[in-house]
Structure formats: structure tokens, C-alpha cells
Structure 1
Amino acid sequence: MSQRKVILLLGSNIKNPKKNIEEAILLINKHLGNVIKKSKMLETEPVEFVSSNNFCNIALSLETDFSPIQILKKAKEIERYMGRVLDSRDLGGYEDRVIDVDIVAIGNLSYQSKMLNLPHHRHLFVRNFSRKILEDLGENIEKYKNIQI
């Protein structure tokens, strides 16, 4: 299988968020694919829920030969390994978390399932903090507008 460019967004807002992000990057490099570029870390207030804990966020670009579902499974395994028990889908909303690994895009792939929709519309076009770190990563967000989901 050929290498795919994958864009991930990571976020953490409990325990030691910066350390959690750094640990997640190491695990991603080891189990998911070669991280080729990172944005600067950005501290933000929680979005779509209330918490006194601010988030540390970062965008990553990596190369992998895994399929979209394999990438999702590996990302969820990393979240569980680091101590995340429930996903926002399980909870029906958002809460504080040790780590969140979101898949924003896999190349120019359009993918839709119950578990995964690509590209990730909210991160690309709705959430300002996401746009900021994706632009810092060097991503041309506008190119994703033409990908039909």
C-alpha cells in the first residue's frame, strides 16, 4: 500500500497537557506513522462545553500506509493507552480529556461512515483554533472545500 499524508489534531486539557501532547506524538510516531511536521502548540479555551481547564492543541502531518479505519483504530488505541476512557460519541458531548486525537484529512480522500467522516468539516471550516494551527502547519484549508463528502 502507498504512503498517505494524514493530518491530525491533538488536544489535552487535564493533568499535564503539554506533556500529554508530547507523549501522544511519540506514540503516533511509533504506532501510526512518521510525523513529518508539527504546528506550534496553541492554548485555547474549551469549545462546545464548559470547563475551567484550557486546552493545549497541536496539528500534525504524518505519513502512513494504514487505511482510514486502521488510522482511526490506532488513534483510539493511543487515547485509551493514555487514559481516555470514553469518547465524545459515547458520552453524547464533550468533557475534559487527557488526550484527543482527531483525524482531519487523509490526502484528498472523501470518506464517510458511522465512525469517521473525512475531511473533518468542523476542524477545517468552523473551529477557529483548528484553522489557526492547521495554517501554522502549512495546510491550505481551502483545497478541502472541493472534496465532496
Structure 2
Amino acid sequence: MICFFSLGSNLGDKESNLAKAIEHICRHGQIRFLAKSSIYETEPQGDKNQGWFANQVIAVDYDFSVPLDLAVDNLMNYLLGIEAGMGRVRDENRRFGPRIIDIDILLVGNTKISTNLVEVPHPKALDRAFVLVPLHEIAPHITIHNIHIEDALSQLDYRLKENKIYQS
């Protein structure tokens, strides 16, 4: 099943962090890499007192061998393990603060899944230009909650200048 992940980093060598995360993701025996977007520089959302992010979206084919909700939880745990292994420290007092790597599951086919660990489609995907712009680059015909990605982008207050995304 085709899955899309959003990756972001604003600490250290951000582009190298994204590349390392993709390498780790592709080591999973049930994942086959399909595509990646360009890397976009994005001003931080929410907590503005931090460096800009490097953001990217990737597409993979994931071979689900167990029930979908269990498989998605297993996948999310795998991604959380990559984050921890790369040195991500979660600060409960600063939820949207700086991070070496952040990996979110955006979409798993056309399915809707809600577990204690993850909600798919990602509940904030339609609000984030740093997700929609790179997603549109590699999957321009995709819909999220029956909303075409171009329509979702047209509803956002953002500006794209070269590879930089500015969003209010």
C-alpha cells in the first residue's frame, strides 16, 4: 500500500538528517522506496523562536502483513525508533520546538485509521503548506479527506519563493 511520510529537521545538518532518516526508513524489510520531494526550507510554525526547518515528503510502498491498525502502529513505532536513534529528544514543555528529525505518517493509501498512537490521514496535514507543497510535488492528484491537494493549498495563507515556504 502506498504511504506518504513527512520529514522535518531544524537542528544540525538538516539535509543530512533527512537523508539519514530516509536511509533508516528504507532498511525496513516491508518498505520499498518510491519517491521523494525536493527539500523545502520552512519557517517554524507555532513556536517561532527556533531555526527554520528543512522539510520533505517521501512515498513508500509498505507491505502490510497484519491487520491495518496494528500494522500502522508497528510502522509508527518503527519511525519513532528512528527518531530516537537519531537523537530526537521530546520536550513535553515545548511540543513544537527544535528537533533533529520528525517523521509523520501522512497517508496510508486512502484509508482512515485512528489508534492510540497515530491518526491517518494526519490530522494537521491540510493546514500545513510544508506538508502539502512537497506532497503535491510527488503526488499532484492526491486527495485528503476527499479534498484535492490543489484545493487545500488554495485555502492556505502561504507563499512559496524558490524552495522557501512562508506560512502565517
The match for 1:110 among 98, 109, 112 is 112
Matches of residues 118-137 of structure 1 in structure 2 within 5 Å? Answer: 118-123=120-125, 125-137=126-138
TM-score (normalised: structure 1):
0.86
CA apart distance, 1:128: 1.5
What is the aligned partner in structure 1 of residue 24 from structure 2?
27
What is the aligned partner in structure 1 of residue 13 from structure 2?
16
TM-score (normalised: structure 2):
0.77
The match for 1:62 among 49, 53, 60 is 60
CA apart distance, 1:146: 3.0
Please list every run of 5 or more consecutive structure 2 residues that lacks an aligned counterpart in the other structure: 65-70, 148-168
Deviations 1:32-87 (A, max 9, x none): 61211001100011111123411000000001124111110110000000001227
Q: In 1, distance between residues paired with 2:23 and 2:3?
A: 16
Q: In 2, distance between residues paired with 1:122 and 1:140?
A: 19
What is the aligned partner in structure 2 of residue 36 from structure 1?
34
Task: Report if the CA contact (8 A) 1:51-1:96 is conserved.
Answer: no
What is the aligned partner in structure 2 of residue 146 from structure 1?
146
The match for 2:81 among 65, 70, 77 is 77
Specify the structure having the higher radius of gyration (Cα): 2
Q: In 2, distance between residues paired with 1:139 and 1:116?
A: 24
What is the aligned partner in structure 1 of residue 162 from structure 2?
none
CA apart distance, 1:106: 0.4
> How many positions carry a matched residue from both structures?
140
Q: In 2, distance between residues paired with 1:94 and 1:60?
A: 21
Between Structure 1 and Structure 2, the one with more strand by share is: 2
Between Structure 1 and Structure 2, the one with more helix by share is: 1
Identical aligned residues as a percent: 29
Distance 1:109 1:137, change over 3 A: same
Structure 1 residue ranges (4+ consecutive) displaced by more than 3 angstroms after TM superposition? none
Residue 112 of structure 1 aligns with an amino acid whose one-letter code is S
